[in-house]
Amino acid sequence: MKYEPARQPQQLPATPVAALLERAQARMEADGWCAGALTDENGAVCLLGAIRKEAGGERGLEADAACVVLDAIRCRFGDHIDSVPSLNDAHGSGRIPVRMLGEAATMADAQGL
């Protein structure tokens, strides 16, 4: 009997919010992270800036993505975080904000958003 490797399941496209958050994460990794502004003079972005750029004017999708990011932040850091910008600006580097975009994308996909 000939051995055949198991077929890999095809990865389904990410849900709309998860896809947006994945693009926002890639943008922040590529353009850099900033605090205190949506975008700085060098083109670096904050959490909301990355989401806004990747939403392409789709305000409902942008709002949904921001809500999922805040939920992910609160799951990790607690309810005392009052906004996405407050978490973004509380860090001295983009390491945690980039990670939160990834965690939020996973959360959105699991929730079917």
Structural domain of 86:
16-33+42-110
- 70 within some domain: yes
Integer angstrom CA distances of residue 10 from 7, 14, 15: 9, 12, 15
pLDDT in tens, 22-46: 999 999 999 999 999 999 999 999 9
pLDDT in tens, 80-89: 999 999 999 9
- 8 within some domain: no
Under the banding of pLDDT at 50, 70 and 90, the label for residue 9 is very low
Under the banding of pLDDT at 50, 70 and 90, the label for residue 8 is very low
Give residue for tokens 């077929």.
7
Could you list the beta-strand ranges (E) of 1-113.
none
Total number of domains constituting the chain: 1
